[in-house]
């Protein structure tokens, strides 16, 4: 029985018969949590290790209907999910998506997409432009989206880092002066 369990395509086990990989999603389509495995760590590791950075001030300010339409907010969350948030990357806060890709995931028609994207741009949350990407079989038409709060957060992080370095240098100078006295 254990041999059949180890060969099963649904999960892989280690020598102690603990689940090390499970392809099932930890959250089922009906919203319930999967409790089929004794150890949920392998399931959640693959799904919860990825997340979108969305500051609380954006949620608090823009999630109310008076500040932004619900549809625009859904698109914004999707774009945040797709954006690169590795601060060391040249593409920090950017993603490249077609309007069809956004439509497939959000269920918003491509015909209305520009209206909502322009609303997001008008609120200062994104910039977007038409672009072409070279691929093996030719060029692909897509859109480049810049999530602006990522840029602002990165700018703040850089400014704080510079300020910290200045404070450290001033502290070193003070220590040298103090030692001379």
Confidence category of residue 43, pLDDT binned at 50, 70, 90: low
| Residue 125 pLDDT exceeds 70 | yes
Task: Report the pLDDT averaged over residues 125-151.
Answer: 86
Task: Report d(CA 13, CA 7) in Å as an integer.
Answer: 9
| Residue 178 pLDDT exceeds 80 | no
What predicted TM-score, i.e. pTM, was given to this entire model?
A: 0.61
Task: Report d(CA 34, CA 25) in Å as an integer.
Answer: 7
Share of residues in the chain with pLDDT > 90 (%): 22
Task: Report the pLDDT averaged over residues 73-87.
Answer: 85
Q: What is the mean pLDDT of the chain?
A: 77
Cβ contact 52:83 at 8 Å: yes
Task: Report d(CA 23, CA 49) in Å as an integer.
Answer: 15
CATH numbers and ranges of domains, the chain: 2-48 (no CATH), 56-156 (1.10.10.10)
Confidence category of residue 60, pLDDT binned at 50, 70, 90: confident
Long-range contacts of the stretch 99-108 (C-beta < 8 A, 24+)? 99/143, 102/75, 102/78, 105/78, 106/74, 106/75, 106/78, 108/71, 108/74, 108/75
Cβ contact 58:149 at 8 Å: yes
Tokens standing for 155?
Answer: 């700018």
């Amino acid at each position: 029985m254990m041999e059949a369990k180890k060969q099963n395509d649904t999960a892989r086990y280690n020598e102690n018969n603990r689940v090390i990989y499970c392809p099932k999603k930890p959250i089922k389509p009906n919203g319930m949590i999967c409790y089929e495995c004794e150890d949920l760590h392998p399931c959640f590791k693959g799904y919860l290790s990825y997340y979108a950075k969305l500051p609380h001030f954006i949620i608090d300010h823009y999630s109310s209907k008076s500040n932004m339409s619900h549809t625009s907010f859904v698109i914004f969350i999707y774009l945040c999910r797709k954006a690169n948030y590795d601060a060391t990357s040249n593409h920090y806060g950017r993603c490249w998506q077609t309007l069809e890709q956004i439509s497939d995931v959000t269920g918003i028609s491509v015909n209305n997409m520009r209206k909502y994207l322009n609303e997001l741009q008008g609120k200062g949350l994104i910039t977007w432009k038409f672009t072409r990407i070279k691929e093996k079989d030719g060029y692909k038409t897509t859109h480049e989206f810049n999530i602006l709060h990522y840029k602002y957060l990165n700018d703040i992080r850089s400014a704080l880092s510079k300020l910290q370095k200045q404070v450290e240098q001033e502290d070193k100078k003070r220590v040298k002066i103090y030692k001379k006295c």
